[in-house]
Structures are given as structure tokens and as C-alpha cells.
């Protein structure tokens, strides 16, 4: 079992730059939104 501090360090190693992670999340969210809009348009 790992402590909370060890878990935080592990996440920082995985995502060293929080701004990059936020930008990737924004881009992924936009892609999902566009895909949903297209699929809804195709079914109506």
C-alpha cells in the first residue's frame, strides 16, 4: 500500500507538466464533443 505522498509523486512523474495535461484534456474533450454532435446529426 502506498501513502498519499507517494501517489502524488507517481502522478507528477507520469504528468510532469500539469499545463500540458490540461491542454490534452481540453483537446480530447473537444474531439468527443464534435464526435457526439456528428453522430446525433447523422441519426436525425
Instruction: Give the Cβ contact number of residue 5 at 10 Å.
Output: 8
* Rounded CA Rg of the chain: 17
Cβ-Cβ contacts under 8 Å for 27 (sequence gap 6 or more): none
Domain boundaries, the chain: 17-44
- Between CA 19 and CA 25 the distance in angstroms is 10
pLDDT score of 40: 87
Distance (Å, rounded) from C-alpha 8 to C-alpha 27? Answer: 24
pLDDT tens column, 1-44: 455 655 555 555 665 678 888 888 899 999 999 998 988 888 87
pTM surpassing 0.75? no
Residue spans of alpha helices (H) in the chain: 4-14, 18-43
Amino acid at each position: 500500500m502506498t501513502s498519499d505522498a507517494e501517489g502524488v509523486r507517481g502522478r507528477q512523474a507520469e504528468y510532469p507538466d500539469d499545463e500540458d495535461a490540461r491542454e490534452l484534456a481540453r483537446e480530447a474533450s473537444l474531439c468527443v464533443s464534435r464526435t457526439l454532435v456528428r453522430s446525433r446529426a447523422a441519426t436525425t
